[in-house]
Amino acid sequence: MRRAGGAADGAVARGEGARGEGARGEGTRPEGLPVLPGGGSRCRGGPVHRFGRRLRVPFGRVAFGRVPFSRAPGVPDRRNTELALLVLAVAVPVYAYAETGLALHGEVPAGLWAPALGLGLLAGLGHLVVRRFARHADPLLLPIATLLNGLGLVLVWRLDQSPRLRFSAGFEVAAPRQLLYSALGMVLFGAVLVVLRDHRTLQRYTYRSMAVALVLLLLPLVPGLGSEVHGARIWIALAGHSMQPAEFAKIVIAVFFAGYLVAKRDALASAGRRLAGLPLPRARDLGPILAVWALSVLILVFETDLGTSLLFFGLFVVMLYTATERMSWIVCGLLMAAAGAAGVGSFEPHVRQRVRAWLHPMGEYLKGRQGLPGHSEQSMQALWAFGSGGLAGTGLGRGDSDLIGFAANSDFILATVGEELGMAGLVAVLLLYALVVERGMRTALATRDPFGKLLAGGLSAAFALQVFVVAGGVLGLIPLTGMTLPFVAYGGSSVAANWALVGILVRISDTARRPVPREDGAGVRAEPHEDGAGVRPVPREDG
């Protein structure tokens, strides 16, 4: 270690820029690492950039050792913007809660302050954690997730007030539990940011994450631990509570896919023979995709979980294409997915029933009304709910989506959005999901390390795939999968896992947007890319 000041480091270490008066340079740095203008947080002075403000240089952490980072001129940390958006993200659900109470009971709910205070505290705590541990992170991810979570709380509470559901068998009030699950999710979000200081740490656990993902996927098959609900064996019971381990497995398996593809992408990118002008992968490189395809088919056969099977296989194919840029992997993936679904659907009654309800919803409705076993009227009721909503919707609390029955607040909650908020509200909610995916993909583009690019892209793809299979199933575009809509639908596992997913994206975006030192040891000034997603180092103007 040696001091950062002195004649040996010249004008850069002293901070003598075009308008700087000479910093004291009291910070220290490891041998061979560059010195940034202004020293460390103890420096009183520092160079002044061309906009006339002094550079404050907090210390950041990179790969090996601690290196001082310069705050980027023109690239504010956007935490105040995030705070303003969070206020709006809390205000909208509170207003929706009041409007729903007026529609259902003719008055504003007496306990309006309780959910408002709870959601506000969760949002405020999340913001403080981001401001302290990820100050350069994307300013939109946390507010959008908070808004979706808040809207979900309102919709779940609205369905709790339905007399049809209240007098149905097995009814339980879900809104207080959903608020508790949201608090647990926010705790996981904060824990990710506090514990995971550098996302590249996860690359060390590539193969361990694969083992963890397999354990999570196999837990529902353990006798006495797993339980079958409505034909799907995807739940485990712990201490009187049930959870869906596949929700957390999607995050862990994304870590494995990212680490594996970083190490093997050169081999997987090699092309073999051509078919109709499309370069096909080499036969010896088909092992990974065949293994993941076999795992997805086994999940579909033994757990009858169509949603998780599609999610995992689709996630691997998307990340494989991202790593290799070979369209042939997409073609192979689609063909294998179609073959697997058709093969399992030919002998698995649960999957066959879902396909039948997708192809003939009215026939299933009529048979379900007659009480015939193995038939459901929910798909048709959901389509009628969308039709009743029209363009502007019936208004919160004024719809009849509770006719769907037991899954109205989970699998089919999007039908409540479509009926009571109309097509306009449905599109707005889907655009919020699209914004989360867009910010995640923008983070992947701005990240400088390959593992971070693949992990951010993979998590964003997993989020997008889950929204697609849920929305597509309820809208009748694809068969129902039994998955839950992230943040909005009732379910503790889904809410907690998706908050952890957003936490990882926030951590990666913080690293991507953080200014970087130059390799030649000269002073650094960071400027944003044209798309504003990240920063690039540019030479400091001296003299």
Q: Where are the alpha helices (DSSP H) in 287-377?
A: 287-302, 306-324, 327-345, 349-359, 361-369
Closest-CA residue to 329 (of 338, 340, 320): 320
**CA 462/CA 319 separation, integer angstroms:** 10
Question: Is the Cβ–Cβ distance between 535 and 516 less than 8 Å?
Answer: yes
pLDDT above 60 for 474: yes
Residue 360 tokens, joined: 């003939």
In order, the DSSP letters of 100-138 are HHHHHHSS--TTTHHHHHHHHHHHHHHHHHHHHH-TTS-
Nearest 5°: the CA angle 184, 188, 191 is: 135
Instruction: Identify the burial level of 539 via C-beta atoms within 10 angstroms of its C-beta, where 0-12 means exposed, 13-18 middle and 19 or more buried.
Output: exposed
Q: Characterize 253-268 residue by residue with b for buried, 16 or more Cβ atoms within 10 angstroms of its Cβ, and e for exposed.
A: bbbbbbbbbbeebeeb
pLDDT above 80 for 182: yes
Closest-CA residue to 516 (of 42, 60, 153, 90): 60
Please give the DSSP secondary-structure letter assigned to residue 54.
B
| 14 vs 507, residue with greater confidence | 507
Question: Is the Cβ–Cβ distance between 502 and 145 less than 8 Å?
Answer: yes
Q: Characterize 119-139 residue by residue with b for buried, 16 or more Cβ atoms within 10 angstroms of its Cβ, and e for exposed.
A: bbebbeebbebbeebbbbbbb
Residues in the chain: 543
**CA 265/CA 283 separation, integer angstroms:** 15
Q: Give the pLDDT confidence score for residue 516 in this predicted structure.
A: 65
**CA 402/CA 407 separation, integer angstroms:** 9
Helix axis angle, 246-268 to 450-475, nearest 10°: 130
For residue 57, the SS3 value is: coil
- The answer for residues whose C-beta is within 8 angstroms of residue 284's C-beta and 6 or more apart is none
pLDDT above 80 for 233: no
pLDDT above 90 for 433: yes
pLDDT above 70 for 217: yes
**CA 508/CA 396 separation, integer angstroms:** 37
In order, the DSSP letters of 232-248 are EEEEEEETTEEE-THHH
Regarding beta strands 66-68 and 59-61, do their DSSP bridges make them parallel or antiparallel, or are they unpaired?
antiparallel
Please give the DSSP secondary-structure letter assigned to residue 209.
H
**CA 151/CA 92 separation, integer angstroms:** 8
**CA 455/CA 140 separation, integer angstroms:** 19
CA of residue 383 relative to chain centroid, distance: 28
On whether the pTM is more than 0.85, the answer is no
| 374 vs 203, residue with greater confidence | 203
Question: Is the Cβ–Cβ distance between 411 and 489 less than 8 Å?
Answer: yes
Which residues does residue 279 pair with via DSSP β-bridges, in sequence order?
274
- The answer for residues whose C-beta is within 8 angstroms of residue 327's C-beta and 6 or more apart is 278, 321
- The answer for residues whose C-beta is within 8 angstroms of residue 541's C-beta and 6 or more apart is 17, 18, 50, 525
Q: Characterize 355-385 residue by residue with b for buried, 16 or more Cβ atoms within 10 angstroms of its Cβ, and e for exposed.
A: bbbbeebeebbebbeeeeeebbbbbbbbbbb
Across 256-267, average pLDDT? 84
Across 204-222, average pLDDT? 88
Residue 500 tokens, joined: 């952890």
Alpha-carbon distances of 489 from 155, 367, 440, 481, rounded to whole Å: 8, 27, 21, 14
If one counts every other C-beta atom within 10 angstroms of the C-beta of residue 31, the result is 7
pLDDT above 80 for 171: no
Average pLDDT, the chain: 78
To the nearest whole percent, how much of the chain has pLDDT over 90? 35
If one counts every other C-beta atom within 10 angstroms of the C-beta of residue 331, the result is 16
Q: Where are the domains of the chain?
A: 201-513
Across 233-248, average pLDDT? 81
Residue 38 tokens, joined: 């202004």
Question: How are strands ordered across the β-sheet holding 226-229?
Answer: 226-229, 232-238, 241-243
Q: Give the pLDDT confidence score for residue 5 in this predicted structure.
A: 40
pLDDT above 50 for 11: no
CA quadruple 467, 469, 474, 475: dihedral sign: positive
**CA 387/CA 385 separation, integer angstroms:** 5
Range with the largest mean pLDDT of 50-59, 221-230, 236-245, 307-316: 307-316
Min mean pLDDT across 317-331, 454-468, 528-542 is at 528-542
**CA 322/CA 310 separation, integer angstroms:** 18
**CA 360/CA 394 separation, integer angstroms:** 27
Amino acid occupying residue 42: R
Q: Give the pLDDT confidence score for residue 424 in this predicted structure.
A: 95
Q: Give the pLDDT confidence score for residue 90 in this predicted structure.
A: 95
Min mean pLDDT across 86-95, 269-278, 442-451 is at 269-278
pLDDT in tens, 36-50: 433 333 333 334 333
Residue 95 tokens, joined: 């207003």
